[in-house]
Structure 1
Amino acid sequence: MNVAIITARAGSKSIINKNILEVRGKPLIYYPIKASLDALKIDKVFVSTDGEGIAEAAEKYGATVIPRPDELGGDSINHGEVIKHAVEWVDERYENLENVVLLLGNTVYIDGSIIDKCLQKLDDEKSLDSCMTVWEAQDDHPFRAMEITENGLLRPYGGVERNVSTERQSYQKAYYYDQGVWAFRKYTVQSHDGPNPWWWMGKKSAPIIRTWVTGRDIHTYFDVGISEWWLEGLDKIKEVLSKSSEDGL
């Protein structure tokens, strides 16, 4: 049995009630639910939440609600513990749970095909614990990261001086989780040995590389605008991506 679990907390300092904010006429939580229902390899869809409005929207669009306990509510929770609780909740109530797809409740940049691709990866490579969607860093490469000192000046991040070229193609490739899909075996949440900070993913986690920058979650109204643009032009975007990359979305 493969399930999708979407995490969507009620508390949000950036945008109030973010996960049920309307984006092109639908609450934001609708989009990961719809992607999960469209995925051929997903048997059941769940939403872990501590918000009444989110729970109502989740049930309306076809998901089963996982009530989040009080100690895992609010802004300062450990996301990994929320994930662990949700997986164990499902495992206690449904037989033969094997793989979990974990999605964020505040993103529109996923569809059923990318979910199926991640689960197919786990089917094809039994030695893997997990896989996740990533993009390859470009101008956001960590070698270019800086921090601001107590004196208000810029220096390389971490205070580490490196002899770094301005030509980013000379750097060793770096990758970022793109706020898209985490797919993992159910047992990985019992250990803390995944690639930090994604400790629930297990030791053997493979990349599913998507086009830069494909994944983005919503934290500000700027992100809302970009998400609306993405949805409005989705058919054209898919066409362009399919020509430039076999990974598509």
Structure 2
Amino acid sequence: MNTRADNPGRPIAAVATLEDELRRGMYEFIRHARRPVTRDEAAAAVGISRKLAAFHLDKLVDTGLLTARFEPVGGIRKVGRTPKVYEAADVDIRINIPPRQHDLLAGILLDAVLTEGVNETARHAALRTARERGHELGAAERERIRPGKLGVERALTHAETVLAQYGFEPSRQSPGCVRLLNCPFHPLAAQSPELVCGINHAFLDGFLAGLHAPAVEATLAPRSGECCVRLHQAAQDS
């Protein structure tokens, strides 16, 4: 389960659901079973009634921890109602406060290694890949909104919306400037600021290019405890 996803609060809800001992017990039983599990089996695993088990299992489904469907037990169809079975969903739940996006950074570095050109250094490959990833994200947002020309205000508004989902915690400092209050790549940025901040800058620069927002630019402006990049009105549009 991705923390930056369409519903960033869902991982928290999933973990909160597991605070209940009965739900946690059934979830662990179903995960370890590695097969579809019926309500009766789940109920027996924690020693409760089938009706109460159904209530808790549906809560686990609602938060995305389990999937459910109707399926004949053992693949054999019998007379009567087909039972509901549950399986552990293929999710990876992580909660970081403030939000982190180490998967994004890892993906950029992995793609850079796999696509590094003959005459390209590892650093250049990483920056190129970061910009390409950012461009894809910006282009997807551009396709979604299908706007006319993006001025400073509209471009920054769309940037705030998208980058908030990636944990940047954008904050409008003025009509033409957005600071990013959180570095999604921390603490790795602290270990290698030149490389990681460069990747971050390339990613955000590519995002603005994909968004087709020439009125806004991303520049390196390190500030303690924040992202090293800020978005602001481009010089030619000042």
Task: Return the index of the structure with the highest Cα Rg.
Answer: 2
Q: TM-score range by the shorter chain?
A: under 0.3
Give the number of the structure whose residues are more often helix, by fraction.
2
| TM norm structure 1 | 0.24
| TM norm structure 2 | 0.25
Bigger relative CO (Cα 8 Å, ≥ 6 apart): 1
Give the number of the structure whose residues are more often strand, by fraction.
1
